[in-house]
Structure 1
C-alpha cells in the first residue's frame, strides 16, 4: 500500500494569525520546540509560513538599524526583491514576516510526492489543507523521513503482496523478491512481456524502495526469454 501524507501528518498544529507579534511568534517556536509554523486567516485558510529564518532576519535587521549613525547613505543599486525582503525583515507581525504564498499539500497526496515538493521549494514543513484550503495538519521532513526507515523485510513483503500477488496475479513461486538497503531485486518469470515494466513501475511506488534490479523474464512455450539484467529505471522494460 502506498503511504499518503494524511497518515503521517500532525493534526494538532501550532499556528499563528496575521496580527501575531514577533515576540509571540518566538514564544510559540520556543515553547513547542518547532522551527516554523503556518499563518492562517479568520477562516483557517493558510496565508503564509513563518520560520526561524524569518525571525532571525528580522532581529538582525533591527540590530543593524540600531548601529547606524545619523547620516545613512542608501546603496546606489538595490533590487526590488532585496528591498521587499528588507522591508519584511524589519516588520513586527506575522503578516509582514511570513513567507507567502505558502507551499501546501493535501492529505491524500503520496509521501514521495510531498518529499519532492519539499526538496523543490527548499522548505522544512508543509501545511496540509483540505479541499477549501483550510489547515488540517502539518507534515515535516522528519514525518516524511520516518516512512523511509522501513526495514528491507517490510519492503520486500509489500512488493510481494501488492505487486507480485495482487497486481500481476502470479503464483507465489513465479517471482522472488529480495531487498538489500532498499534496493529490490525481482527474479523469475511473468506471463507476458508488458508485465515486466509494469512490475518495475509498481515496485518503485512502494515506499522505501530506492532502486530496482530487473531479473524478470517472460515464459513462453519455447521457454523463458531473459531481458538484460541490471539496475532498472521506473519506466524501463526489456530491450
Structure 2
C-alpha cells in the first residue's frame, strides 16, 4: 500500500463517547493505521481502553489538540467526512467523493493525509469543513444515513486496505504548501483587479479544492507559478501606469 498507513492520521473532533474512541483505535489496529489525533478533552478512560483491545497502545500514544486548526497543521490532504452531502455545485464545500475514490486519488503514499471525523451528534461545523480540501461521504440507506463514528472510520480505513498504490510514481506530487501558495498568489491578483471582496473567500476554497482533486504534480506547480508570476507582473505594471 506504499506505506499510506504510515503517513495517514485519524483525527477525531470532540468525540462524545469513550467507547467510540476505543472502537476507533481497535479499527485502526485491525487495518494497520497507528496515528491518532484527538481534538478536545484530554481523557482516555478504562472504557476506551477496554473497547480498544489490542489497539490500546494507539490510545496511549494519541496526541491531543485544542482546535482542529492546530491538529491539521503540516498535512497535504485534509479529508472532512459527514453524513450530509449535496449535489448543488453552489454549495461546493460539501460536494463529496466516496472513500474508494479518496484512496484511488491519494493512496500512493506520497502525501500526508489527515482523516477528520466530526462529533457524533453534530458532525463538523461549517468552519471546520472549510479547513478541509477534500470531502468524503460514505454511501448509505436513504432511510438512515448516519453511521456510528467507529463504523465510519472502519469503512474508510477498510477501503484503504482494498486499494493498492501504484508501484511506480512517475512524477512527484505537489505538496499541500505548494497548492496553498498557488491559491495565495491567485488571491493577490484578484485583489489587485478589484475582484469583489465578498467572493474572494469562497473562490479561494473552491480553487484549493479543485487543485487538490486534480492531483497536481510538482512540475505542474512550477508551470502554474510561472504563469501567475507573469500575470502578477503585468497587473502591477498596469497599476503603475494608472497611478
Which one has a larger percent strand, Structure 1 or Structure 2?
1
Which one has a larger percent helix, Structure 1 or Structure 2?
2
Higher relative contact order (CA 8 A, sep 6+): 2
Q: TM-score, normalised by structure 2?
A: 0.24
Bigger Rg, which one: 1
